[in-house]
């Protein structure tokens, strides 16, 4: 009997020790995991007991905030102007987040280690916990202009504007957009319905086309091809180059032609600036073959292609893959074949040239402000790469200016709408789909003013046709809005 009792006692002791070890293991090693588990009801409710920090624009417009609604969940996320800013703010739902809401979640929620002391002081003094405010680089006037102009096209599209000297993103818009308020609800059934609606929509409103969809760059890639040529020291904007009406491609029966099979300056030789201004495919296809795919890829890398970026939103890489044959190199040199870029990359092309060849790293967050109004984070502009030398940038700048200022330039039609603002640009009409059966994408990249660049813009309108017809007007509206915004602030 005593032996049986000893066995039972020993078994109980072992189980007690195992229970003790498990409890300590959970507290020591699994506390954070359990606390962040979406199924943890206590954590779920607790995250809405405190006021999440606001997201504001560079000119202090509130684009995301938490308002007191009472009840079991004290604060609910609210987006005062949802559609124009959804590509930037993203959404914050009880179960997931995107955009700045996700990228800066720890600061917005007040759980970032840099807020620990502040939270402790608030606890001692009896003040409620509150998240930090994230101020973006976005200019609300430029952002509204960008979204409204994209919406007016009625086509899937994206636009990005950058300050060339710093890399600050002034506007980042995507169309179609979505209403993040529909996803910020505490009504589970309403949330499920909104989520299904957006996920199943053929228009893909949750896709951020400004940074997460890539398109053929079309003739805007001639900026890269020209830069590669000028960087050899053997060419300038005035260098004559062969301009056949049809360019025979090696080891294939294919021929490269110009838009609408038009001749380029009579079929002899033309200066590169003329070929760029009227966008001759045969000139730049031949130049690309002469330079070689490796040289073009090297130059594309310098402009930011083939690399991952965070702004802090994750950006889909723009790609210029290795090219195996001269014929494919000719196509890639004019922005076809497998070239693919985001609207952000388009803005980066222009920004690098506008900034004398130095490409600044794009960024969206200007500063982070603690609840006591002290500054936790402030952006420090940094170069991403030296895309080209100042001399090469000057040559490309001259050619881009000619695209708009010359009466025969592919973007000359926008002059009447510029209100005296000088613009340097490159148009693109990008073929896509199997055997180029899809509608042409309209592509446009530019900067302004020419002699003192304040803004660089990249626009892609899917299925928009000619770049000068669909994308250029969008860029013009963004530029004019931003220049007016600067003037109102006394910064122009």
Catalogue the active-site residues: 219
Q: Which residues pair with 369 in a beta bridge?
A: 133, 375
Comparing CA positions, the residue from 53, 135, 143 lying closest to residue 364 is 135
At 426, is the secondary structure helix, strand, or coil? Answer: strand
3 state SS for 285-319 = HHHHHHHCHHHHHHHHHHCCCCCCEECCCEECCCE
Comparing CA positions, the residue from 238, 279, 237 lying closest to residue 257 is 279
List for the chain the helix, strand, coil content (%; round to 5). 45, 20, 40
Comparing CA positions, the residue from 419, 324, 366, 300 lying closest to residue 100 is 366
Angle of helix 326-333 relative to helix 281-291, nearest 10 degrees, comes to: 130
Query: What's 269's DSSP letter?
Result: E
Sort 238 into a burial class: Cβ within 10 Å, 0-12 / 13-18 / 19+: exposed
Instruction: Check: CB of residue 284 under 8 Å from CB of residue 230.
Output: no
Sort 314 into a burial class: Cβ within 10 Å, 0-12 / 13-18 / 19+: middle
Q: Any idea what the Cα angle at residue 105 is, between residues 482 and 44, rounded to 5°?
A: 135
CA distances to 6, 21, 60, 166, 416 from 15, rounded to whole Å, are: 14, 10, 60, 63, 85
Angle of helix 140-153 relative to helix 467-488, nearest 10 degrees, comes to: 160
φ and ψ at residue 375, rounded to 5 degrees: -90, 120
Other beta carbons within 10 Å of 231? 21
User: 176: cis peptide before it, omega within 30°?
Assistant: yes
Instruction: Check: CB of residue 134 under 8 Å from CB of residue 371.
Output: no
Comparing CA positions, the residue from 148, 159, 221 lying closest to residue 456 is 159
């Amino acid at each position: 009997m005593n032996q049986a009792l000893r066995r039972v006692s020993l078994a109980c002791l072992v189980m007690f020790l195992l229970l003790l070890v498990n409890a300590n293991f959970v507290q020591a090693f699994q506390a954070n995991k359990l606390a962040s588990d979406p199924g943890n009801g206590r954590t779920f409710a607790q995250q809405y007991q405190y006021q999440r920090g606001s997201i504001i624009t560079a000119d202090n417009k509130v684009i995301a905030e938490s308002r007191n609604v009472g009840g079991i969940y004290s604060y609910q996320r609210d987006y005062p102007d949802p559609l124009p800013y959804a590509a930037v703010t993203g959404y914050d739902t009880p179960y997931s987040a995107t955009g700045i809401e996700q990228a800066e979640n720890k600061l917005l929620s007040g759980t970032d280690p840099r807020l620990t002391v502040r939270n402790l002081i608030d606890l001692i003094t009896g003040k409620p916990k509150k998240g930090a405010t994230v101020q973006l680089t976005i200019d609300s006037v430029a952002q509204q202009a960008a979204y409204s102009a994209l919406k007016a096209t009625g086509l899937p599209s994206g636009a990005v504007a950058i300050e060339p000297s710093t890399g600050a993103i002034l506007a980042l818009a995507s169309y179609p957009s979505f209403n993040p308020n529909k996803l910020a609800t505490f009504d589970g059934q309403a949330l499920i319905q909104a989520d299904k609606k957006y996920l199943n929509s053929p228009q893909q409103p949750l896709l951020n086309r400004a940074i997460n969809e890539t398109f053929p760059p079309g003739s805007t890639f001639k900026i890269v091809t020209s830069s590669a040529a000028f960087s050899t020291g053997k060419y300038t904007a005035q260098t004559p180059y062969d301009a056949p009406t049809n360019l025979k491609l090696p080891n294939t029966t294919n021929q490269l032609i110009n838009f609408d099979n038009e001749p380029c300056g009579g079929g002899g030789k033309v200066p590169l600036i003329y070929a760029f201004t009227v966008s001759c495919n045969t000139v730049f296809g031949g130049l690309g073959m002469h330079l070689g795919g490796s040289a073009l890829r090297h130059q594309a890398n310098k402009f930011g292609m083939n690399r991952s970026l965070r702004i802090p939103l994750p950006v889909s890489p723009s790609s210029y893959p290795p090219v195996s044959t001269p014929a494919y190199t000719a196509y890639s040199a004019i922005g076809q074949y497998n070239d693919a870029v985001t609207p952000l990359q388009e803005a980066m092309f222009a920004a690098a040239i506008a900034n004398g060849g130095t490409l600044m790293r794009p960024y969206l967050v200007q500063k982070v402000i603690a609840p006591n109004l002290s500054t936790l984070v402030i952006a420090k502009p940094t170069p991403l790469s030296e895309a080209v030398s100042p001399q090469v940038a000057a040559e490309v700048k001259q050619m881009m200016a000619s695209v708009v200022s010359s009466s025969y330039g592919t973007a000359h039609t926008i002059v009447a709408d510029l209100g005296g603002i000088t613009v340097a640009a490159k148009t693109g009409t990008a073929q896509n789909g199997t055997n180029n059966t899809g509608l042409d994408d309209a592509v446009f990249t530019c900067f302004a003013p020419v002699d003192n660049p304040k803004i660089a813009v990249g626009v892609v309108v899917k299925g928009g046709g000619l770049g000068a017809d669909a994308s250029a007007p969008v860029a013009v509206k963004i530029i004019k809005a931003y220049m007016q915004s600067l003037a109102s602030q006394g910064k122009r």
